[in-house]
């Protein structure tokens, strides 16, 4: 194989076929990026999380950098569903790329009615952000526990026939259990994962760096942690796992796919290098060509683990 075009980059997530496995992470992508990349090259477009009502978001400052990472406490500012339907949706209709709409609501019923309202022509799927650490008190979210995850997913499943992705949180003690709950309630895929709840203190003022005190950690520093979660979740469920956490290069994407991911989302890297996603797509094709891998989908779960090397992770969930 010598030409990148020979590599089949397509992946399937439930009934949704993507031209390649690379898409933005919610909240790190906006219309303005069309100045630096062709959106028709992306596997999918995932919107910033929207809510039914207008939301103003958290107090400033909302972002602080730490080595290899970013902590954000944006808090889902939203122009509301009406603005989305009138302005954002028609804008993306110009592209031949599946549009996945990320949604959030305070209750399971609220999630369901928003999903129903957004099941419109031009919307290819719903990503339910049940994992934002910045809108619930002390970073608690539905995806912290299996029962609320199952309940909200059931409500969503009954409300829309669109592909349904459930975005999980690494802040729970047992992600595979939460992933299984989403699968049992009808999710088509799980996104692993949202940010890691964290904190930073300013040594000049002795005050927290963020107006919200705590925020979500993202960027390259979280990749090994989320990789472990993807590995465990992919073993726990049959539905596709979409990896999200610190992906900045094609090598990162390959690592996640080997661990079991079907597709990947790129977040913080876009702030550093706005065209990161198209570079990752090109380099992924080059990687496959170089390694004589005809279909990128063949990377999924291809990590080689000798039976004797299988780690004993039982201690992570000790019997109570």
Ligand X SMILES: Cc1cc2nc3c(=O)[nH]c(=O)nc-3n(C[C@H](O)[C@H](O)[C@H](O)COP(=O)(O)O)c2cc1C
List of residues contacting ligand X (CB under 6 A): 25-28, 48-49, 70, 72, 74, 76, 102, 129, 132, 167, 194-195, 218-219, 222, 244-247, 266-269
Characterise 242 by phi-psi region: left (phi > 0), alpha (psi -120 to 50), beta (else).
Answer: beta
DSSP sequence for 246-282:
S--SHHHHHHHHHHT-SEEEE-THHHHSTTHHHHHHH
Report yes or no: 245 and 68 within 8 Å, Cβ to Cβ. Answer: no
Shortest spacing between CB 163 and ligand X, in angstroms: 16
Vertex 12 angle, CA 180 and 3, to 5°:
135
Shortest spacing between CB 94 and ligand X, in angstroms: 23
**Closer CB to ligand X, 74 or 156, in the complex:** 74
**Closer CB to ligand X, 132 or 239, in the complex:** 132
Rounded-to-integer distance, Cα 249 and Cα 281, Å: 9
**Closer CB to ligand X, 7 or 179, in the complex:** 179
Number of other CB atoms surrounding residue 59 within 10 Å: 12
DSSP H helices in the chain: 80-83, 89-92, 108-117, 146-159, 175-184, 223-236, 250-259, 269-272, 276-290
Q: Could you give the count of Cα atoms lying within 13 Å of 167 in the half-sphere of its Cβ?
A: 28
Shortest spacing between CB 55 and ligand X, in angstroms: 11
Number of other CB atoms surrounding residue 10 within 10 Å: 14
Q: How many angstroms separate the first and last alpha carbons of the chain?
A: 53
Distance of CA 217 to the CA centre of its chain: 14
Rounded-to-integer distance, Cα 30 and Cα 43, Å: 16
The residue from 132, 209, 233, 244 that is catalytic is: 132
**Closer CB to ligand X, 27 or 240, in the complex:** 27
Residue nearest to ligand X (CB): 27
Shortest spacing between CB 78 and ligand X, in angstroms: 9
**Closer CB to ligand X, 57 or 186, in the complex:** 57
Shortest spacing between CB 140 and ligand X, in angstroms: 15
Shortest spacing between CB 22 and ligand X, in angstroms: 12
**Closer CB to ligand X, 51 or 232, in the complex:** 51
Among the listed residues 71, 50, 51, 76, the one whose alpha carbon sits nearest the alpha carbon of residue 61 = 71
Q: Is 132 a known active-site residue?
A: yes
User: Catalytic positions, please?
Assistant: 132
């Amino acid at each position: 194989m010598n030409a990148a075009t020979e590599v089949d980059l397509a992946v399937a997530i439930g009934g949704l076929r993507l031209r390649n496995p690379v898409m933005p992470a919610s909240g790190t992508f906006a219309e303005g990026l069309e100045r630096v990349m062709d959106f028709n090259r992306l596997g999918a477009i995932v919107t910033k999380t929207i809510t039914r009502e207008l939301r103003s978001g958290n107090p400033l400052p909302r972002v602080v950098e730490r080595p290899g990472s970013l902590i954000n406490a944006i808090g889902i500012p939203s122009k509301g569903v009406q603005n989305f339907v009138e302005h954002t949706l028609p804008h993306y209709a110009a592209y031949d790329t599946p549009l996945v709409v990320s949604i959030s609501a305070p209750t399971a019923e609220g999630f369901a009615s928003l999903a129903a309202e957004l099941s419109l022509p031009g919307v290819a799927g719903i990503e339910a952000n049940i994992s934002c650490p910045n809108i619930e008190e002390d970073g608690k979210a539905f995806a912290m526990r299996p029962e609320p995850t199952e309940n909200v997913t059931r409500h969503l499943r009954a409300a829309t026939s669109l592909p349904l992705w459930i975005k999980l949180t690494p802040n729970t003690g047992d992600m595979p259990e939460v992933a299984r709950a989403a699968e049992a309630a009808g999710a088509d895929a799980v996104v692993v994962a949202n940010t890691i709840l964290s904190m930073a203190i300013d040594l000049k003022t002795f005050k927290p760096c963020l107006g919200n005190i705590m925020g979500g950690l993202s960027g390259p520093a979280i990749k090994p942690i989320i990789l472990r979660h993807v590995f465990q979740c992919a073993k726990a469920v049959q539905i596709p796992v979409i990896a999200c956490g610190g992906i900045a290069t094609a090598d990162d994407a390959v690592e996640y796919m080997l661990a079991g991911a079907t597709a990947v989302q790129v977040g913080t890297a876009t702030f550093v290098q706005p065209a990161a996603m198209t570079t990752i797509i090109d380099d992924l094709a080059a990687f496959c060509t170089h390694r004589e891998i005809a279909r990128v989908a063949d990377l999924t779960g291809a990590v080689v683990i000798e039976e004797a090397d299988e780690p004993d992770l039982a201690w992570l969930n000790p019997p109570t």
